[in-house]
């Protein structure tokens, strides 16, 4: 009977703990004190109860759950002693609790009469009508019900084979007969398929857990209680759920978390079970529910990383990533009508890409294809390609299934400062950034940004990469942007874009100057760079060219965003600095777009300028950027656009009146004429050379001499070409800032002239030397043409097919990397070689 007495006293303590912090306590304290005084001890029950009340009030104010539990434990022991000495006191205590706390269910079994008292009581002399009591039939004696509570999957499980294998590696205690309990945590962003993976794994390993599988959905508990994460009520309810599943009746259910935790351990001592805890947000949720039975396991799913469990409890963490292209297509194929994916595989692949491989998004896409009459894969691709409408398209009308709804809980559980950073990151023009960019976006210092990014990473809302940058899934970024639009001031996005564009302008300008100090530049950034620490000049600092290449997509995104927000005065200087990358690595489409944005910005600044100096600078910028724009346009085969850009550049340069700028623009015009009017090209280069000499620009003169030599060679004046090219080569190396890259280009041109003059040995030697230097200087774009010429020489001189193919293949890789149409011709030549073999 002691178990029933303990359960009854536990219920009474819960009621009294509530009374202690209520206005009814004074009256209750007197009546309970009289009951306790029956033991005849020297203690002061009234003072004892008041001290307990004061201690409980302080514990709750401090949020000290353990201190509050200690108060309850002492009161429980006190009442148990009283009731054991005088069993009849139980009836009076039950009556007191019923009167003082009428909402408290009270049940006890009298050890004297064997009668059962239930409160609140139902009394009546006569009962008419039918009263039906439904009592679940207990299991037969000696038979234990084996729980099997993990929900079944209602759809095909795809493409998580490696993740399931990793889980098998974690949950080994059941197979090995170990005395330990396995603890595995599956973490990942909301909607990535954590629950499905856990449910599938539980289905596959049922034989390892002969005493069954328990399941607790913490998201459902939070929904029911409306409580904060790690609330005591959630843990308590989870324990109660498990205890009931293990056969503990409501009458014997302890009322405190600690008591339930201890009983759970006792109940699982001889069991080998698997406990699946879904959507956990705090380590405390897990620790309270670790069973004691050897060989048992606890499988946790969470959007938080819960690294504390790994450090303190030995949990094995498994990060779940979005599906790859193959897995995403398999999921679509499973959910869509038969033949949908096969009918438009390219469109289906694009849908997987637009969904970022996120299973919840793919399920929504599939549902729309199933339920919306006439909707095709191609139409859905077109709709979702627009970022502004993508989240709206990834939701089902009149249903709660949407990407936004899936990500909502992760966002709502963030602390306010991390939530603000999350929102602002949604406005970043890139989903890949470092802590410095995040700090600028939120206008906070870098240390604080790193701390908050750690919070977001723990919530699986960003991912920290090995290169110390952070990645944000496209759909998460759109959700963050949606939240920012709803919750941030209307002016904040434009302000953020301005801060971020300035940040990238500073770094791109420093990288540009680190690559080549002596280069024609229009933007005067002296004041902006005056007090900035140059990371590229620091010992062990990043390579400026590698940094520009790494940040290529981000800078292009910043240019687009700054253009949309009218930050023209930042756009054109950034486009000018950015071109340092493309002079070395020809990403033609990116170069073209960045310069087009820069040109438009320069024109806008000139139109809105209020002083002659501002107009002149903007006009000069237009000339410079239009001349640069001609290069990617020519390489992309857009001849007419290149011609128009150059004509406008010449006009703008002459309007600006800068001799060095005019000379530079003429050089670019000559390079256009090289292809279409070589005779005129010679005259233009000669004028550019003269203007550079007039302006005292030795490097500019050397470059003009280089292009003049190339034009003379193309025109058939090979001897004069060699003279001009040797002059250029020597001048470039003799400059105060030697330009080894351009000198190598001159050397390659000298080799080409020797080849035309029939001096094959000299041509081969100089071309090979030039290619080696260009490789060393990380300027592979300029190595492609010499490689092709070396292949021609090799074929003419009887070198093996493998040698020729190797040279052409290396050149092809360079052209493919930059999107150069010349790649098609090389592919044809390589195919001919293979056909000849």
311 in the same domain as 282: yes
The answer to whether the beta carbons of residues 232 and 17 sit under 8 Å apart is no
Domain boundaries, position 351: 325-401
For residue 46, being part of any structural domain is answered with: yes
**Which residues, including other chains, have CB under 8 Å from residue 344's CB and lie 6 or more apart?**
376, 377, 378
Residue 789: burial class (beta carbons within 10 Å; 0-12, 13-18, 19+): buried
355-358 long-range contacts (CB < 8 A, ≥24 apart) are: 355/328, 355/384, 355/394, 355/475, 356/322, 356/473, 356/474, 356/475, 357/321, 357/322, 357/323, 357/324, 357/325, 357/327, 357/328, 358/189, 358/191, 358/192, 358/322, 358/323, 358/403, 358/473, 358/475
- Selection from 444, 567, 581 nearest residue 508 by Cα: 581
628 in the same domain as 527: yes
The answer to whether the beta carbons of residues 352 and 325 sit under 8 Å apart is yes
Can you give the C-alpha Rg of the chain in angstroms? 38
497 in the same domain as 557: yes
For residue 143, being part of any structural domain is answered with: no
Dihedrals φ, ψ of 22, to 5°?
-120, 170
Report how far apart the first and last C-alpha atoms of the chain are (Å, whole number). 95
Give the per-residue pLDDT at 4: 60
3-state helix, strand, coil in the chain (%, to 5): 65, 5, 30
Pairing of strands 213-217, 274-278: parallel
For residue 744, being part of any structural domain is answered with: no
SS (H, E, C) 746-812: HHHHHHHHHHHCCCHHHHHHHHHHHHHHHHHCCCHHHHHHHHHHHHHHHHHCCCCHHHHHHHHHHHH
For residue 292, being part of any structural domain is answered with: yes
* Structure-token pair, residue 464: 């920290």
638 in the same domain as 585: yes
Counting as low any pLDDT under 50, the low residues of the chain are 1, 107-138, 141-142, 227-230
CA 479 to chain centre: 12
Q: How far is residue 186's CA from residue 277's CA, in Å, rounded to a whole number?
A: 10
* Structure-token pair, residue 368: 């729309």
* Structure-token pair, residue 250: 């409501």
pLDDT tens for each residue of 447-496: 999 999 999 998 889 999 988 899 999 999 999 999 999 999 999 999 99
261 in the same domain as 387: no
* Structure-token pair, residue 662: 């005019």
Give the per-residue pLDDT at 715: 85
The last residue of a domain, from among 288, 304, 319:
319
196 in the same domain as 93: no
Give the per-residue pLDDT at 21: 63
SS3 call for 178: coil
Count other C-beta atoms under 10 Å from residue 2's C-beta. 9
Q: How far is residue 457's CA from residue 445's CA, in Å, rounded to a whole number?
A: 18
**Residue keyed to tokens 């038979």:** 143
The kind and range of the H/E element at 36 are helix 25-36
The last residue of a domain, from among 319, 340, 362:
319
For residue 109, being part of any structural domain is answered with: yes
For residue 559, being part of any structural domain is answered with: yes
Residue 310 CB-half CA count within 13 A: 12
CATH of the domain at 418: 1.10.10.10
For residue 644, being part of any structural domain is answered with: yes
The answer to whether the beta carbons of residues 268 and 190 sit under 8 Å apart is no
Residue 159 CB-half CA count within 13 A: 20
Give the per-residue pLDDT at 225: 53
**Which residues, including other chains, have CB under 8 Å from residue 270's CB and lie 6 or more apart?**
293
453 in the same domain as 348: no
The answer to whether the beta carbons of residues 288 and 239 sit under 8 Å apart is yes
The last residue of a domain, from among 345, 379, 401:
401
505 in the same domain as 637: yes
For residue 822, being part of any structural domain is answered with: no
Pairing of strands 106-109, 116-119: antiparallel
CA–CA distances in Å: residue 709 to residues 74, 144, 153, 752: 98, 95, 73, 11
569 in the same domain as 421: no
651 in the same domain as 543: yes
The kind and range of the H/E element at 109 are strand 106-109
Q: Rounded to two decimals, what is the model's pTM?
A: 0.69
SS3 call for 210: coil
Q: How far is residue 615's CA from residue 605's CA, in Å, rounded to a whole number?
A: 8
179 in the same domain as 105: no
The structural domain count of the chain equals 5
Give the per-residue pLDDT at 2: 57
87 in the same domain as 194: no
Strand partners, 216: 277
């Amino acid at each position: 009977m002691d178990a029933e007495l303990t359960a009854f006293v536990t219920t009474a303590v819960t009621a009294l703990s509530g009374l202690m912090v209520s206005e009814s306590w004074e009256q209750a304290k007197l009546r309970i004190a009289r009951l306790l005084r029956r033991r005849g001890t020297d203690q002061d029950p009234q003072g004892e109860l008041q001290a307990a009340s004061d201690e409980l009030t302080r514990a709750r104010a401090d949020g000290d759950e353990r201190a509050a539990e200690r108060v309850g434990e002492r009161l429980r022991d006190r009442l148990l002693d009283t009731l054991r000495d005088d069993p009849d006191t139980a009836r009076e205590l039950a009556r007191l609790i019923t009167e003082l706390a009428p909402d408290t269910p009270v049940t006890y079994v009298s050890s004297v009469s064997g009668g059962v008292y239930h409160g609140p009581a139902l009394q009546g002399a006569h009962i008419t009508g039918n009263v039906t009591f439904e009592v679940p039939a207990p299991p037969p004696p000696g038979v234990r019900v084996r729980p099997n509570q993990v929900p079944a999957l209602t759809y095909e499980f795809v493409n998580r084979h490696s993740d399931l294998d990793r889980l098998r590696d974690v949950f080994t205690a059941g197979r090995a007969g170990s005395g330990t309990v396995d603890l595995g945590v599956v973490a990942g962003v909301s909607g990535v398929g954590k629950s499905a993976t856990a449910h599938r794994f539980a289905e596959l390993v049922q034989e390892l857990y002969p005493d069954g599988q328990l399941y607790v959905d913490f998201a459902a508990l939070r929904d029911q209680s409306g409580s904060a994460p790690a609330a005591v009520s959630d843990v308590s309810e989870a324990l109660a759920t498990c205890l009931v599943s293990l056969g503990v009746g409501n009458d014997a259910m302890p009322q405190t978390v600690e008591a339930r935790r201890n009983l759970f351990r006792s109940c699982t001592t001889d069991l080998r079970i698997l406990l699946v805890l879904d959507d956990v947000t705090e380590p405390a949720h897990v620790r309270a529910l670790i069973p004691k039975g050897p060989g048992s396991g606890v499988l946790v799913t969470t959007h938080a990383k819960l690294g504390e469990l790994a450090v303190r409890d030995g949990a094995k963490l498994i990060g779940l990533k979005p599906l790859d292209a193959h897995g995403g297509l398999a999921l679509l194929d499973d959910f869509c009508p038969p033949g949908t994916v096969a009918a438009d595989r390219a469109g289906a692949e694009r849908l997987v890409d637009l969904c970022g491989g996120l299973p919840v998004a793919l399920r929504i896409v599939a549902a729309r294809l199933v339920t919306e009459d006439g909707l095709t894969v191609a139409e859905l691709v077109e709709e979702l390609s627009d970022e502004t409408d993508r989240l709206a398209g990834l939701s089902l009308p009149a249903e709660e299934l949407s990407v936004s709804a899936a990500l909502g809980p992760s966002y709502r559980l963030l602390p306010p400062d991390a939530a603000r950073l999350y929102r602002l990151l949604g406005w970043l023009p890139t989903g890949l950034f470092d802590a410095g960019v995040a700090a600028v976006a939120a206008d906070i210092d870098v240390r604080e940004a790193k701390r908050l990014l750690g919070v977001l990473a723990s919530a699986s809302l960003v991912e920290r990469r090995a290169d110390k940058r952070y990645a944000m899934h496209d759909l998460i970024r759109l959700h963050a942007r949606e939240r920012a639009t709803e919750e941030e001031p209307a002016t904040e996005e434009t302000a953020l874009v301005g801060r971020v564009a300035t940040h990238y302008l500073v770094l791109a300008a420093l990288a540009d100057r680190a690559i080549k100090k002596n280069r024609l530049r229009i933007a005067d950034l002296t004041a902006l760079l005056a007090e900035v620490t140059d990371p590229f000049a620091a010992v062990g600092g990043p390579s400026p060219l590698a940094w520009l290449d790494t940040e290529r997509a981000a800078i292009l995104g910043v240019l687009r965003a700054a253009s949309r927000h009218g930050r023209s005065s930042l756009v054109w200087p950034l486009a000018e600095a950015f071109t340092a990358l493309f002079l070395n690595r020809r990403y033609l489409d990116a170069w073209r777009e960045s310069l087009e944005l820069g040109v438009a910005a320069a024109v806008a600044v000139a139109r809105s300028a209020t002083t002659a100096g501002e107009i002149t600078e903007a006009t000069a910028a237009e000339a410079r950027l239009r001349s640069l724009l001609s290069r990617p346009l020519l390489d992309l085969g857009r001849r007419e656009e290149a011609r128009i850009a150059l004509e406008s550049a010449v006009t703008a340069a002459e309007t600006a009146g800068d001799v060095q700028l005019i000379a530079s623009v003429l050089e670019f015009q000559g390079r256009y004429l090289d292809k279409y009017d070589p005779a005129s090209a010679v005259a233009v280069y000669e004028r550019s050379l003269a203007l550079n000499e007039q302006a005292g620009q030795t490097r500019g003169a050397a470059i003009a001499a280089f292009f003049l030599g190339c034009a003379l060679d193309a025109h058939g004046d090979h001897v004069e070409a060699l003279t001009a090219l040797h002059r250029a080569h020597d001048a470039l190396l003799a400059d105060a800032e030697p330009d080894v890259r351009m000198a190598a280009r001159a050397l390659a041109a000298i080799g080409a002239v020797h080849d035309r003059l029939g001096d094959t040995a000299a041509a081969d030697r100089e071309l090979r030397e030039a290619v080696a230097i260009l490789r060393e200087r990380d300027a592979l774009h300029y190595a492609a043409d010499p490689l092709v010429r070396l292949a021609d020489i090799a074929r003419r001189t009887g070198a093996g097919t493998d040698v020729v193919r190797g040279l052409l293949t290396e050149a092809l890789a360079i052209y493919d990397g930059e999107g150069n149409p010349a790649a098609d011709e090389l592919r044809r030549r390589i195919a001919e070689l293979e056909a000849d073999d």
